[in-house]
């Protein structure tokens, strides 16, 4: 995958934007359990009261609370409350909110920040708990007497107010008593102290005449509304990230397909020998699709999962540090499962793409060779061949799926086991007042989020190997060094182009071959000449012609066009001077006109008609009502072999090139059509240099120069009559064909 990262550069902004949205989404998702904890802890259990710091408190009750505070604590608390009585400016407003204000003064909390609130919470929380404890003791005379004896106060007088007794004590003794009582609550922690003090705050609100039911309802609605807004924000981020990831992945896939196509277009014949057609098709379709899917998953999961996992761990530990080992155990088991599956499935993923190549190859061969298969009654054999390729791919896919299918139930078992363990351990902590119910529920949700994060990453670990194989296959194509390159400073033919081709001491060896297939080839084709090339099968006829347009480069020597080495000019400029007709005429889906205009898209109807006339194709073209608009199916399968060759010849003639190369392009023509075509070709292309490779002596016998090849060497060169006298190879070929024609 790293080899293709540079192609993601145009989408950097989209990726960064997606990462930002994922951070927002993750924080929104992580905040939801915390809000749920608040609803349970504060909204349900505490009646909507969050803090031990009441918004209002009666003067008499405040006097009791400050008895159990240090001087610094007392100053801090009283500095943030103001005493309100009937003379206050806002009395009319406050008495409606706190009806008890009509009977006695009330302390009202001034606006404070969060830090101050957190500072005051444990102070007032402990004070509320001490006051509540003292009130319970006061209600039990025996317990009050026992406490008095313990504190050295003696038994309080009958009917005496215990708070009055404590208030009259010296400050040092009262501080000692306060410290002893508060030690009972020290082990609870500030959070638990606040929760326990909330009951006393609620009693104070009732004493003030406040509507505590309304207070609880408002709190739940407020927190629930916040959760709804966070959920909508998370949904919006999910949709936006989905759009950005899809756009990035689709754009990357488009770019990769374009780059692969461009690269393949630049391949010479040597590079095509490295990659089969079926493999190139698979790489530009199936492999690119694999990468597209993984990019979407990476942007949605690989980035999101670590955020949610790390954030979940931090928040879960914030709820309870004593249950961290449960999450750690689940993660270790989960990672062990993922690594096991990964080690089993990875070797198989590497095999899949090669098997897809094989299946595509068999399918392509069957579709293109269906007539041959039927002619030889080989349908059953080909069905078995296809079935073997199909079964191999199916078997590997099923093996991987069987391994993968084990993951989900095992992961669900891990998740459900983790849930039970958290509830079991958390319930004991709740019973021991070490944890709140809402915090236990939030911890459970954070644990599920953490496990899901690892679950998402595990799926990516399984998908990445196959995508990595696909990325490597695409990178192999894109990074292939092209053997035929344009020079850094190419020469140009200029306006004085002369269609002269010279082979100077040319030898050629195919890439990877042990021996040369052409040996010391020397000849010159002058402007206006027709050069015939003939020889036995495999003698190197087509190889010679492929060196002129630089489909291959010579191993030794040089090929010169207009006096310039073809390796010193740009390929585009060189091929613009050549009209090439391959041995196998290739037509493209479209119309006859579109195929002929392949050589020159601006060619007029007259030019097309003239080219068709020369190629002896007008007869069958205009015999149809559609004429040039007649449809050509894929590969030209709806025209005969001879018609296909003539259309290919006509296409090259539309180019009006100074050099024509006919690579055995008359093989499917009858002798009459062959002769008529060559006659018309000679008249209409007088200034062009023409190369004709043919197995027929009749096709090349009137050429100004005939080159006879045998095993990659020139064994004869000259005109027909000369070669009949001086070249045994040519004479044998000519006599064998003349004999065959005479029998007809």
pLDDT tens-place string over residues 333-361: 877 877 787 777 777 776 776 787 788 88
Contacts of 655 (CB under 8 A, 6+ apart): 579, 599, 600
> What is the band of 568 on the pLDDT scale with cuts at 50, 70, 90?
very high
Structure tokens that stand for 589 in this block: 């889906």
Average pLDDT for residues 116-132, to the nearest whole number? 87
Sign of CA dihedral 446, 452, 453, 454: positive
Domain end among 193, 210, 227: 210
pLDDT number for residue 741: 45
pLDDT number for residue 410: 81
Whether 191 and 274 share a structural domain = no
Whether 395 and 514 share a structural domain = no
Whether 452 and 511 share a structural domain = no
Q: Percentage helix, strand, coil, to 5, in the chain? A: 65, 10, 25
> What is the band of 182 on the pLDDT scale with cuts at 50, 70, 90?
low
Strand order in the sheet with 713-718: 578-581, 659-663, 689-693, 530-535, 705-710, 713-718
Other C-beta atoms lying within 10 Å of the C-beta of residue 256:
23
186 or 327, which is more confident? 327
With a cut of 70, say whether residue 292 has pLDDT above it. Answer: yes
pLDDT tens-place string over residues 442-452: 888 888 888 88
154 or 742, which is more confident? 154
Plot region of 87 (φ>0 → left; ψ -120 to 50 → alpha; else → beta): alpha
> Does residue 234 form part of some domain?
no
With a cut of 80, say whether residue 261 has pLDDT above it. Answer: yes
With a cut of 60, say whether residue 721 has pLDDT above it. Answer: yes
Residue appearing with tokens 């408002």: 218
What is the distance between the alpha carbons of residues 340 and 693, in angstroms, rounded to a whole number? 62
Structure tokens that stand for 16 in this block: 């960064």
> What is the band of 503 on the pLDDT scale with cuts at 50, 70, 90?
very high
Contact predicate 516/704, CB 8 Å = no
> Does residue 241 form part of some domain?
no
> Does residue 424 form part of some domain?
yes
CA 81, distance to chain mean position in Å, is: 59
Average pLDDT for residues 688-703, to the nearest whole number? 88
pLDDT number for residue 425: 84
What is residue 505's three-state secondary structure? strand
Average pLDDT for residues 190-217, to the nearest whole number? 86
> Does residue 530 form part of some domain?
yes
* Among the listed residues 664, 352, 682, the one whose alpha carbon sits nearest the alpha carbon of residue 535: 664
CATH of the domain at 365: 1.20.1560.10
pLDDT tens-place string over residues 29-40: 989 988 888 888
Other C-beta atoms lying within 10 Å of the C-beta of residue 72:
9
Whether 84 and 197 share a structural domain = yes
Whether 291 and 199 share a structural domain = no
**CA-to-CA separations, 93 to 99, 101, 460, in angstroms, rounded:** 10, 11, 61
pLDDT number for residue 138: 62
pLDDT number for residue 565: 92
Whether 468 and 349 share a structural domain = yes
Percent of the chain with pLDDT over 90: 21
> Does residue 302 form part of some domain?
yes
643 or 230, which is more confident? 230
Average pLDDT for residues 453-476, to the nearest whole number? 78
What is the distance between the alpha carbons of residues 720 and 702, in angstroms, rounded to a whole number? 7
> What is the band of 151 on the pLDDT scale with cuts at 50, 70, 90?
low
pLDDT number for residue 18: 93
458 or 599, which is more confident? 599
Contact predicate 699/523, CB 8 Å = no
pLDDT number for residue 155: 53
**CA-to-CA separations, 31 to 54, 147, 366, 444, in angstroms, rounded:** 26, 46, 59, 14
Count up the domains in the chain and report the number.
Answer: 3
pLDDT tens-place string over residues 554-563: 999 999 999 8
Contact predicate 725/716, CB 8 Å = no
139: phi then psi, degrees, rounded to nearest 5: -75, -15
> Does residue 493 form part of some domain?
no
**CA-to-CA separations, 599 to 143, 465, 647, in angstroms, rounded:** 112, 45, 12
> What is the band of 241 on the pLDDT scale with cuts at 50, 70, 90?
very high
Contact predicate 256/4, CB 8 Å = yes
Contact predicate 708/535, CB 8 Å = yes
What is the distance between the alpha carbons of residues 62 and 39, in angstroms, rounded to a whole number? 29
> What is the band of 137 on the pLDDT scale with cuts at 50, 70, 90?
low
Whether 439 and 344 share a structural domain = yes
> What is the band of 152 on the pLDDT scale with cuts at 50, 70, 90?
low
For the ranges 120-134, 217-231, 242-256, 401-415, the lowest mean pLDDT is seen at 401-415
pLDDT number for residue 743: 29
Whether 102 and 171 share a structural domain = yes
Whether 467 and 559 share a structural domain = no
pLDDT number for residue 69: 84
pLDDT number for residue 305: 85
> Which residue range forms the structural domain that includes residue 423?
2-6+266-478
């Amino acid at each position: 995958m790293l080899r293709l990262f540079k192609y993601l550069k145009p989408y950097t902004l989209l990726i960064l934007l997606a990462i930002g949205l994922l951070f927002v989404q993750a924080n929104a998702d992580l905040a939801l359990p915390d809000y749920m904890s608040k609803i349970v802890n504060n909204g349900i259990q505490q009646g909507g009261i969050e803090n031990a710091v009441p918004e209002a408190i009666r003067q008499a009750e405040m006097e009791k609370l400050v008895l159990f505070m240090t001087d610094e604590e007392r100053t801090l608390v009283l500095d943030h409350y103001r005493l309100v009585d009937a003379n206050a400016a806002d009395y009319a407003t406050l008495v409606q909110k706190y009806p008890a204000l009509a009977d006695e003064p009330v302390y009202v909390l001034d606006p404070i920040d969060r830090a101050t609130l957190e500072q005051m919470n444990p102070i007032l929380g402990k004070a509320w708990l001490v006051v509540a404890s003292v009130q319970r003791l006061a209600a039990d005379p025996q317990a009050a007497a026992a406490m008095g004896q313990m504190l050295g106060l003696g038994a309080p007088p009958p009917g005496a107010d215990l708070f009055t007794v404590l208030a009259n004590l010296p400050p040092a003794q009262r501080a000692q008593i306060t410290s002893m009582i508060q030690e009972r609550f020290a082990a609870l922690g500030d959070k638990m102290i606040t929760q326990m003090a909330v009951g006393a705050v609620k009693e104070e609100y009732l004493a003030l005449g406040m509507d505590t039911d309304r207070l609880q309802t408002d709190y739940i609605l407020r927190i629930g509304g916040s959760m709804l807004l966070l959920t909508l924000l998370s949904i919006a981020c999910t949709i936006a990230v989905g759009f950005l990831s899809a756009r990035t992945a689709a754009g990357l896939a488009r770019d990769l397909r374009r780059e692969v196509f461009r690269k393949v277009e630049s391949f010479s014949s040597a590079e095509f020998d490295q990659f089969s057609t079926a493999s190139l098709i698979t790489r530009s379709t199936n492999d690119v699709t694999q990468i597209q899917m993984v990019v979407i998953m990476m942007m949605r999961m690989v980035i999101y999962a670590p955020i949610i996992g790390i954030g979940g761990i931090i928040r879960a530990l914030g709820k309870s540090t004593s249950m961290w080992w449960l999450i750690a155990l689940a993660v270790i088991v989960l990672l062990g499962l993922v690594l096991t599956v990964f080690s089993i499935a990875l070797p198989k993923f590497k095999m899949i793409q090669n098997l897809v190549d094989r299946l595509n190859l068999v399918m392509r061969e069957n579709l293109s060779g269906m007539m041959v298969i039927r002619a030889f009654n080989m349908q059953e054999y080909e069905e078995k061949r296809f079935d073997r390729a199909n079964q191999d791919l199916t078997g590997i896919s099923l093996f991987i799926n069987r391994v993968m299918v084990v993951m989900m139930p095992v992961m669900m078992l891990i998740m459900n086991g983790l849930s039970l363990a958290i509830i079991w351990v958390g319930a004991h902590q709740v019973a021991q007042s070490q944890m709140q119910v809402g915090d236990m529920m939030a911890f459970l949700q954070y644990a599920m989020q953490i496990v899901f994060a690892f679950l998402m990453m595990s799926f990516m670990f399984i998908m990445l190997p196959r995508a990595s194989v696909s990325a490597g296959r695409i990178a192999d194509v894109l990074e292939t060094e092209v053997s035929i390159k344009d020079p850094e400073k190419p020469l140009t033919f200029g306006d004085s182009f002369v269609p002269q081709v010279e082979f100077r001491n040319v030898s050629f060896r195919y890439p990877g071959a042990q021996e040369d297939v052409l040996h010391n080839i020397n000849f010159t084709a002058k402007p206006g000449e027709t050069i015939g090339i003939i020889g036995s099968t495999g003698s190197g006829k087509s190889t010679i012609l492929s060196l002129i347009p630089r489909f291959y480069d010579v191993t030794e020597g040089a090929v010169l066009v207009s006096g310039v080495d073809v390796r010193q000019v740009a390929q585009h400029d060189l091929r613009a001077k050549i009209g090439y007709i391959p041995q196998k005429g290739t037509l493209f889906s479209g119309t006859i006109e579109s195929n002929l205009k392949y050589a020159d898209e601006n060619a007029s109807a007259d030019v097309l008609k003239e080219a068709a006339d020369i190629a002896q194709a007008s007869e069958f073209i205009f015999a149809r009502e559609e004429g040039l608009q007649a449809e050509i199916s894929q590969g030209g399968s709806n025209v005969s072999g001879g018609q296909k060759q003539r259309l290919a010849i006509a296409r090259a003639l539309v180019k009006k090139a100074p050099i024509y190369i006919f690579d055995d392009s008359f093989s499917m023509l009858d002798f009459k059509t062959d002769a008529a075509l060559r006659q018309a070709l000679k008249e209409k292309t007088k200034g062009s240099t023409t190369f004709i490779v043919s197995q027929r002596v009749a096709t090349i016998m009137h050429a100004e120069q005939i080159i006879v090849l045998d095993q990659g060497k020139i064994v004869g060169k000259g005109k027909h009559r000369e070669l009949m006298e001086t070249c045994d190879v040519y004479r044998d070929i000519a006599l064998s064909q003349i004999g065959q024609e005479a029998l007809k």
